[in-house]
Structure 1
Amino acid sequence: MDHVPALQCTLCGETYDPEREIYTCPNHDGVSGILEVQYDYDVVLDRFDADLDGSIPSQWKYKPFLPVSADATPVTLGEGGTDLLAAETLSDRLGVETLVKDDGRNPTGVLKDRATSVSVTKATEDGVDVVTCASTGNAAASLAGYAGRADLECRIFVPGDAPEGKLAQPLTYGADVLAVEGSYDEAYDLSMAVTDEFGWYNRNAAINPFQVEGKRTVGHELAEQTRESVPDWVVFSMGDGCTIYGGWKGFREFHELDLVSETPKMLGVQADGARAIHDTFHDHDDVDDVADTLADSIAVGRPRNTLKACKALEQSGGTSVVVSDEQILEGERLLGHTEGIYAEPAGAAPVAGVRKARAEGIIDPDETVVIVVTGNGLKDTKSALRASGDPVSIPPELSSVVELFPDG
C-alpha cells in the first residue's frame, strides 16, 4: 500500500506500519488509542479518475482512496452507489428542503456494508481464516454475508436481546452466532478477548482502523452527487460514532483536494437513552454509559469513537441533538408515509433529528438537508409495527370495505 504511509494514534500522534496487525495504540489503556489511516494524496490522485459525473456503480469507484493494495481484488456484493433522492413531501412536512440518501439499499440492508467490504478485502489480503465482531445485529449480518462471499469462517457476538430479524441474516449466511447473556458492551468486550486469545480478524468498527475508511465512501459519494449544490447539512444517527466521522472525512477530503467547492455541517442524532457522544460534545458533566433505546443499532453506552464523532461535529461547524424513542418511531412512520422509504429506527432517527433541529432553530428554513438512512426497516419489523400499527381485520365482504371507505 504505497498510498498509505502510516496509521496514526488520534491521542498521542504515534505512528505505526499500516501492514502491521494492530488495532489500537498500545500507549493507552483499553481501546482509547484509536488509529487513523494516513494517505499520500499525491499517489491517490494520480490513480483516481476525477470525472465526477454522478455515475457511481459501487463504492469501489473510489478504490484509490481505500486502504487496500492497488492490485487487491475487492470482496464485493455491489455495495455503495446508492441514489440521492429528492423528498418533496418530506420537505413540506419538515419545513426544510430535504434529500435522502438511502443506504438501506446496500446488499445486506445497511451502510455498514461499505466498511465490511473493505475489512474483509483486507482480511483476505492478510490470509486470515476467521473473522469476528460484536454487533447489535447489523454488523453481524454484514460481516457474515461478506465472509460467505469470501469463504471465511465468521463468528459473531450479539447481545441476548438482539432483534430476531437481524439474527436470521447471519445465520442464513452460515455464521456462528453467539448470543451473549448481557448488553452490547459486554458482547463487545468478549469479542475483543477472543480476538486476543485466538488471533481472529476483528471487524469491530470501533477499533479496526480500516472500517471507517470504507464508511467514508458515503461522504465521497455525497460530495460527488451534490457538487453542483452542496447541502448545508448532512444528518447521521450516531452509535459508536465512526459512521458520522467517516461521512465527514470523505466529504472533507474531496474539498481539500479541490474536487468540491465547500463542505456541509454535520448534524449527529442520538437516542435519548444512548446519548454519550451528544453529552460529551456539549460538555455535560454527567455522561451516562447506559444504553436504553429501541433503536438497537445505535444503542451504545460506551462509544469507542466519541473523539472522532466530536471531531466531525466540531470541524464541520455542526452540532448534535437527542430524540426520544417515540420521536424516532414517528420519524420512521413519516419517512415511510411521505417517501416510501422503509428505515429501521436508527435509520429513521435523522428524520426525528431534523424535526427537532428545525424546532430549536438549529436548521433554518432556507437551508438544504441530506438525511442518510443507514439501515433498512426489514431489520426490525417489530419496531415498524409499533410505529405504524396493526392491520385492520375485516370479514371477506364488500360491505365491510364500503363501511370503511364510504366515499370510495
Structure 2
Amino acid sequence: MAMNHVTTLECTLCGATYDPDQVIYTCPEHEGVKGILEVNYDYDSIQDNFDAPLDGDIRSQWKYSAFLPVDDDADIISLKEGGTDHYNAPQLSERLGVETRVKDDGRNPTGVLKDRATSVAVTKARHAGRDVITCASTGNAAASLAGYAARAGMDCRIFVPGNAPEEKLAQPLVYGADVLGVNGSYDEAYDLSLEVTESYGWYNRNAAINPFQVEGKRTVGHELAEQTQDDVPDWLVFSMGDGCTIYGGWKGFREFYDLGYVDDTPKMLGVQAEGASAIHDAFHRHESASDVAETIADSIAVGRPRNTVKACRALEESGGTSVLVSDEEILDAERILGSTEGIYAEPAGAAPVAGVRAALADGIIEEDETVLVVVTGYGLKDTKSAMKAGDEVQHIDADLLEVERLYHDELIRHSD
C-alpha cells in the first residue's frame, strides 16, 4: 500500500492529526461527529506525478488521479464519472440579466455529482477489504453508492428517510442494494447509519463524515479550473445541503490556483432553501429557527449539516457569501433552466439558478459580472416536483381543428 501524497487527516476543530491509511471518520476527541477531518497533501509529490495536459480534454475525474487519496495499487472502481461539459447559456443569461454559464453534473453515470465521491469511497472500501458499504441518503447518494457497489461486487445497505422520492429509490433497488426506509427524518436515518458502522464495521460512505468524500467532489473544482482557465467566472454557484459539495468545488479550484495552473479564483455563492438554512444561518451568524429541514429540494433537505465548518470556510476564503431561496423560486428556476437551455435539473440542481436571481436582486452579484452555476442532479430524479414546475398537459381530441384552435394566431402569422 502506498498513499505517499496524502500526509495527514487533520481535525477541523482542534488540529489533531491522524494517519490517513487507517479507516477513521471523525476526530475521537469530540463527541458525536463534530470533529470533521481535513485531508492534507504533499503537493510537491502530487506535482511530480501529475503530467496531464490542461487542454480541456477530460475523459473522467481520474485525469486528476495524482490528486485523489487512493493507494497506488488500488483497483479503481469507475463508471466514467466526471468530465462533464460546461456550457455557455445565452438564453438563460438574457433571462437572468447576467452572463451565465452552466456545468451540468447531472450527466454523471447515476445522474448526480455525488458519483465523483462515490467512486473514491468504493475504491477505498474494496481496497481496505470491506465487503459491505453503507450510507444514509435522501436518494441521490443511495443511487450513486448502489451503482458503484454493484460495479465493485460489494453488498450495499442504504438508510433513507420515509419521505424520500420513489423515483430515487427505484435506482438503488435496480442496482441490487438493500434499501431500508427509516420511519423518520434524514438526520435520524443518518444517525442509524453511524450506529451500524460502529457496531458491524461496514464501510460508511456518508460524505459529511467520511473525509475522503469531499476529496472526490473536489474534482469538479479541478475540472472547472481547467475548463475556465482563460475566463474564470466572477462567481461559482452551488446549492448546499451538508456543505461537502461547495467546499469540494472550492478546494479543487483553489488548489489549481495555488499550483499556478490558473491565474484567478471565483467567489463562491452558496444557495440554501429557506426551509433548510443551517449553513446560511451559521455563516451570517443568525440563530437557526429549527434543525428540521422542510423543502421540496430533498437533496439539500439537511437540518443538521455536518460540514458547516468546511462550507463556511469556502465562502469566507473565496470572498463569497450565501443566499436563501423559497421552494417556489426553486421550481421556477427548474422550469427556466429547462425552457431556456434544455437542461433538466432536479430541484436541488436548479437551486443555484434561483440563487443567482436572489443575489442579483440583493445587489450581491453585479450585472457586469460573470456567473457559472453547477447543476448537481438530473431532473428524472424527482419527476413529481418537475410536474409542479412545468405547465400542465393540454388534452385535445385527435382532430386537426383542435390544433388550429390552440395555435390559430400563430398559423395566421406564418401564412401571411
Partner of 1:332: 334
Structure 1 position 287, deviation (Å): 4.8
For the residue of structure 1 that corresponds to 2:121, the secondary structure is helix
Partner of 1:88: 90
Q: Which amino acid counterpart does residue 147 of structure 1 have in structure 2? A: A
Q: Deviations over 1:342-390 (max 9, x none)?
A: 0000000000000010111100111110000000000000000000032
**In structure 2, C-alpha distance between the alignment counterparts of 1:236 and 1:316, rounded to whole Å:** 13
Partner of 1:314: 316
The equivalent position to 1:341 in structure 2, one of 340, 343, 357, is 343
Partner of 1:186: 188
Partner of 1:386: 388
For the residue of structure 1 that corresponds to 2:193, the secondary structure is helix
**In structure 2, C-alpha distance between the alignment counterparts of 1:263 and 1:217, rounded to whole Å:** 15
Partner of 1:6: 8
Q: Which amino acid counterpart does residue 401 of structure 2 have in structure 1? A: S
For the residue of structure 2 that corresponds to 1:142, the secondary structure is helix
Q: Which amino acid counterpart does residue 261 of structure 1 have in structure 2? A: D
Q: Which amino acid counterpart does residue 174 of structure 1 have in structure 2? A: G
Partner of 1:231: 233
Structure 1 position 50, deviation (Å): 4.6
Partner of 2:414: none
Partner of 1:276: 278
Aligned residues: 408
Asked if 2 retains the 8 angstrom alpha-carbon contact of 1:331 and 1:351, the reply is: yes
**In structure 2, C-alpha distance between the alignment counterparts of 1:262 and 1:28, rounded to whole Å:** 36
Partner of 2:291: 289
**In structure 1, C-alpha distance between the alignment counterparts of 2:281 and 2:15, rounded to whole Å:** 25
Q: CA RMSD in A?
A: 0.7
Q: Deviations over 1:222-258 (max 9, x none)?
A: 0000001111000000000000000000000001111
Partner of 2:130: 128
Partner of 2:300: 298
Within 5 A, what are the aligned runs for 1:357-372? Answer: 357-372=359-374
Asked if 2 retains the 8 angstrom alpha-carbon contact of 1:268 and 1:320, the reply is: yes
Q: Deviations over 1:161-198 (max 9, x none)?
A: 10000000000000000000000000000000111110
For the residue of structure 2 that corresponds to 1:5, the secondary structure is strand
Q: Which amino acid counterpart does residue 202 of structure 1 have in structure 2? A: N
Within 5 A, what are the aligned runs for 1:212-251? Answer: 212-251=214-253
The equivalent position to 1:31 in structure 2, one of 30, 33, 55, is 33
Partner of 1:267: 269
Structure 2 gaps, min length 5: 412-416
Asked if 1 retains the 8 angstrom alpha-carbon contact of 2:52 and 2:63, the reply is: no
The answer as to 2:260 corresponding to 1:258 is yes
**In structure 2, C-alpha distance between the alignment counterparts of 1:405 and 1:193, rounded to whole Å:** 60
For the residue of structure 1 that corresponds to 2:95, the secondary structure is helix
The answer as to 2:164 corresponding to 1:201 is no
The equivalent position to 1:76 in structure 2, one of 75, 78, 82, is 78
Q: Which amino acid counterpart does residue 274 of structure 1 have in structure 2? A: A
Q: Which amino acid counterpart does residue 135 of structure 2 have in structure 1? A: C
Q: Deviations over 1:302-325 (max 9, x none)?
A: 000000000000000000000000
Q: Which amino acid counterpart does residue 103 of structure 1 have in structure 2? A: D
Partner of 1:396: 398
For the residue of structure 1 that corresponds to 2:252, the secondary structure is helix
Structure 1 position 332, deviation (Å): 0.1
**In structure 2, C-alpha distance between the alignment counterparts of 1:201 and 1:49, rounded to whole Å:** 32
Structure 1 position 49, deviation (Å): 1.3
Q: Which amino acid counterpart does residue 52 of structure 1 have in structure 2? A: L
**In structure 2, C-alpha distance between the alignment counterparts of 1:251 and 1:279, rounded to whole Å:** 25
Structure 1 position 72, deviation (Å): 2.2
Structure 1 gaps, min length 5: none
Asked if 1 retains the 8 angstrom alpha-carbon contact of 2:39 and 2:212, the reply is: yes
**In structure 1, C-alpha distance between the alignment counterparts of 2:165 and 2:258, rounded to whole Å:** 41
Structure 1 position 290, deviation (Å): 1.4
The answer as to 2:38 corresponding to 1:60 is no
**In structure 1, C-alpha distance between the alignment counterparts of 2:182 and 2:207, rounded to whole Å:** 19
The equivalent position to 1:19 in structure 2, one of 18, 21, 24, is 21
**In structure 1, C-alpha distance between the alignment counterparts of 2:92 and 2:7, rounded to whole Å:** 44
Could you list the structure 1 runs, at least 4 aligned residues long, displaced by more than 3 angstroms after superposition: none
Q: 1:245 to 1:287 in 2, by over 3 A?
A: farther
Asked if 1 retains the 8 angstrom alpha-carbon contact of 2:353 and 2:373, the reply is: yes
Q: Which amino acid counterpart does residue 361 of structure 1 have in structure 2? A: G
Structure 1 position 285, deviation (Å): 2.8
